[in-house]
Amino acid sequence: MKEKLFYLEEKLKTFPQRSLSLVPTPCHRINYLSDRYGVEVYCKRDDLTGFGFGGNKSRKLEFLIGEALEHGSDAIVTSGGVQSNFCRLTAAAGAVTGMSVHLVLGGGRPAQATGNLILDEMLGAEIHFVDSSDWNDWEAESVKVTAELEMKGRKVFRIPIGGSVPVGVAGYVSAFIEIMKDQERLGLSFDHIIHASGSGGTQAGLVVGKALTGWDGRISGISVSMDGETLEHLVFALAVQTAGLLGGSISRESVVVADHYIGEGYAIKTVAAEKAMEVFARKEGIFLDNVYTGKAASALLDWLEKGVLWGQKVLFLHTGGQAELFAKDE
């Protein structure tokens, strides 16, 4: 595997990049869960990437911003929910690289800025609100804003929701390499990686890393956004395109999504997620969020309770998003 890891790492170096994240992020044992359930549970702390309030999206943005700068772009447009972590990090990335950032935020203008929205404004992003919860409407408005800026002579780099395009996905192929190095440092081999899956980019990157290195573990994406079949199709398509850029291929069977933990929908709280957030906070001092990591952790706790993970060494990927804890429900 070492030769394949080295080849993949060298291949990724050929992509334009702008360093943003403080990596490698910590990877450590979750003592409470490990001791209680007799399953070795570890946590990869991508909430501690150290840029723009942290979170996994900075890994994607290193490649996306690298491409934008190579193209000579002077403006970035992207979209997401009002409390989007990706939009917050895009605003930070644009600010530090001298590009103006336009955020199309869905869900309507709130009466008061809270959570990520406060940070978006602090970072100087221009915000365009869309009174809709439909991701397609957000993207349509993003295209419209891009066209308006281009009419004014701006050179725009438009990024789809969550940065989930092959160039962005490369950021999590790089993260997978880092996880393999964590294994070596810890003197173990993970059997299973569990993480929140929303727009599909993080999972696609991990799947590509698995395929191109020959790692034989399992990757389970916990859907927080859509039904499992739809998300699996999206992840697979992204993984195929990204693997093509890196000279490899993907099997459909490697894409596994569990969709039993969404609750009523994207960004809607669940009792199970709130319980998982309480366990992580009170037993480990780790804060999760309601939108992503809380729901992924609720799946982890459910599987531990049911004995599904017995005998495995499990890695829970903490993708960040804690700014949501300071958001005010409308």
Task: Compute the distance between CA of residue 147 and CA of residue 145 in angstroms, rounded to an integer.
Answer: 5
Contact, 250 vs 239, CB < 8 A?
yes
Q: CA 211, 212, 215, 219 torsion: positive or negative?
A: negative
Residue 58 catalytic? no
DSSP code per residue over 118-157:
HHHHHTT-EEEEES---HHHHHHHHHHHHHHHHHTT--EE
- CB 88, CB 53: distance < 8 Å: yes
β 40-45/313-318 pair status: parallel
Cα–Cα distance for residue pair 94/286, rounded to 1 Å:
29
Residue environment code for 104-128, b if the CB has 16+ CB neighbours within 10 A, otherwise e: bbbbeebeebbbbbebbeebebebb
Angle at 168 between CA 163 and CA 173, to 5 degrees: 135
> For residue 47, what are the CA distances in angstroms to 21, 51, 169, 214, 267?
11, 10, 18, 27, 18
Q: 103: number of CA atoms within 13 Å, CB side?
A: 32
Candidates 21, 79, 84, 100; catalytic one: 84
**Which DSSP symbol is given to 2?**
H
Nearest alpha carbon to residue 125 among 145, 101, 149, 148? 101
Terminal-residue alpha carbon distance, the chain: 50
Closest CA to 202 of 229, 227, 224: 224
Which residues participate in catalysis according to the annotation?
A: 84
